[in-house]
């Protein structure tokens, strides 16, 4: 079996999935075997343009190469365990080769089809309001397991996904190398060719990785802020004890200076926790002058966690206050509450039903 170099903690046959390979890795593998660059182009074309599900279908390759590929790699989509639908949204639960389950959510927007994918099995960040963190991280997802979420949904629904958000289960910057490899694979023009501006990575604020990420390509960055000060943020997000708001904001300012990109701040509105007008003013002062916008998220209530969503009128007040202070702000369109679309909900329901 040909194991890829930088994939960390993968289990089972997905380790040898051909979808783990960036174009350059596939090319090097083939060059080592004495093949030409052209063959790498052909294989990427079979995998990501023609979308074959077996090596035997790659009819323009030499027989001996097909045999070698079969020895070294696996190919194939994820097993669909469960699918739920609501207006404008579909949610999928997939089984992995080691029987772990992952979920992803497809959303139909006026600008395109956006897929929210998971990056880890479970999550170690422990955010108080989030369902995903109730299950500690089991392992990183491999690049192939992220790529396959896209391929499987596209094949199941017979459509093309135009936007990717890394906002499913997991903290992308806690699985940095595999996530970057995944983006390299789907961004490659010889493959799925998803434009980097159509990819958004969301992080709870792992500061060193934000710095590292500023040297990477122009992918959108979203920060889960959720609080205007350390007192509230410490209570909601344990990561704040490692990298507090001052460190986070200064890393993001550096990121913006370096990349010239606008950053999104996500802010879940939790009733009587972080949704007061004075919180809005504090938030506006924190973000004043930055090239950013705030995406207010109505909280998706879950059965295990006590937080309540803010009232409509409080959401409007918060929004109006930010606007008045000159902050760019939107309220996230709410869908998916019927399909348990908030991070980790479908999987935890499935686990309980067993």
Min separation Cβ 301 and ligand SAH, Å: 7
Helix (H) or strand (E) holding 78: none
Which of 299, 315, 319, 339 lies at the binding interface for ligand SAH (CB under 6 A)?
A: 299
* Interface mask toward ligand SAH for 192-231; x: CB under 6 A: ----------xxx-------------------x-------
Q: Which residue stretch of 17-25, 122-130, 155-163, 246-254 sits at the interface with ligand SAH (rule: CB under 6 A)?
A: 122-130
Q: Which residue stretch of 209-217, 242-250, 272-280, 298-306 sits at the interface with ligand SAH (rule: CB under 6 A)?
A: 298-306
DSSP 290-349: SSEEEEEEE----TT----BPPHHHHHHHHHHHHHTT--EEE-----TTTT-STTHHHHH
Calpha distance 23→102 (Å, rounded): 25
Residues in the chain: 354
| 266 near ligand SAH, judged by CB under 6 A | yes
User: Helix 176-187 to helix 143-157 angle, to the nearest 10 degrees?
Assistant: 40
Which of 74, 178, 302, 310 lies at the binding interface for ligand SAH (CB under 6 A)?
A: 302
Min separation Cβ 346 and ligand SAH, Å: 12
DSSP 8-state code for residue 17: B
| 74 near ligand SAH, judged by CB under 6 A | no
Min separation Cβ 201 and ligand SAH, Å: 8
Calpha distance 263→293 (Å, rounded): 7
Q: Which residue stretch of 23-31, 94-102, 126-134, 182-190 sits at the interface with ligand SAH (rule: CB under 6 A)?
A: 126-134
Contact 149, 104 (CB under 8 A): yes
| 300 near ligand SAH, judged by CB under 6 A | yes
Q: Which residue stretch of 64-72, 103-111, 124-132, 310-318 sits at the interface with ligand SAH (rule: CB under 6 A)?
A: 124-132
Q: Is residue 130 flagged as an active site residue?
A: no
Beta bridge pairs of residue 103? 93
Point out the catalytic residue in the list 25, 84, 103, 154.
103
Strand 112-116: give its sheet, edge to edge: 79-86, 89-95, 101-109, 112-116, 163-166, 199-203, 220-224, 263-269, 292-298, 329-331
| 102 near ligand SAH, judged by CB under 6 A | no
DSSP 133-196: GGS---EEPPHHHHHHHHHHHHHHHT----EEEE-SSS-GGGSHHHHHHHHHHHH-TTTT---G
Q: Is residue 301 flagged as an active site residue?
A: no
| 171 near ligand SAH, judged by CB under 6 A | yes
Sites of contact with ligand SAH (CB under 6 A): 125, 127, 129-130, 167, 171, 202-204, 224, 266, 268, 297, 299-300, 302, 342-343
Residues identified as active-site: 103, 343
């Amino acid at each position: 079996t040909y194991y890829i170099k930088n994939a960390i903690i993968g289990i089972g046959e997905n380790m040898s999935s051909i979808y783990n390979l960036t174009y350059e890795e596939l090319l090097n593998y083939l060059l080592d075997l004495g093949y030409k660059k052209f063959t790498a182009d052909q294989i990427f074309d079979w995998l990501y343009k023609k979308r074959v599900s077996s090596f035997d279908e790659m009819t323009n390759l030499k027989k001996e190469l097909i045999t070698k590929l079969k020895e070294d790699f696996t190919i194939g989509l994820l097993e669909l365990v469960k699918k739920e639908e609501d207006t404008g949204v579909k949610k999928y639960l997939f089984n992995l080769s080691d029987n772990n389950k992952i979920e992803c959510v497809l959303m139909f927007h006026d600008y395109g089809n956006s897929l929210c994918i998971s990056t880890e099995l479970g999550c170690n960040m422990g955010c108080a309001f989030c369902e995903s963190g109730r299950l500690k991280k089991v392992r990183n997802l491999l690049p192939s397991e992220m790529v396959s979420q896209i391929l499987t949904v596209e094949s199941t629904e017979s459509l093309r996904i135009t936007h990717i958000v890394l906002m499913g289960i997991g903290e992308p910057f806690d699985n940095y190398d595999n996530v970057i490899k995944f983006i390299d694979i789907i961004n490659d023009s010889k493959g799925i060719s998803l434009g980097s501006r159509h990819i958004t990575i969301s992080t709870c604020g792992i500061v060193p990785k934000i710095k590292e990420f500023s040297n990477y390509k122009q992918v959108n960055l979203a920060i889960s802020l959720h609080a205007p000060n350390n007192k509230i943020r410490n209570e909601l997000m344990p990561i704040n004890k490692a990298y507090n708001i001052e460190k986070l904001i200064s890393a993001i300012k550096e990121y913006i200076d370096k990349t010239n990109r606008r950053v999104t701040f996500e802010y879940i509105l939790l009733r009587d926790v972080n949704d007061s007008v004075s919180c809005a003013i504090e938030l506006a002062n924190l973000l004043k002058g930055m090239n950013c916008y705030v995406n207010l998220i109505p909280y998706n209530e879950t059965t295990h966690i006590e937080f309540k969503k803010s009232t409509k009128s409080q959401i409007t007040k918060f929004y109006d206050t930010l606007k008045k202070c000159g902050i760019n702000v939107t309220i996230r369109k709410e869908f998916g509450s019927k399909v348990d679309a908030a991070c980790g909900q479908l999987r935890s329901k499935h686990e309980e039903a067993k």
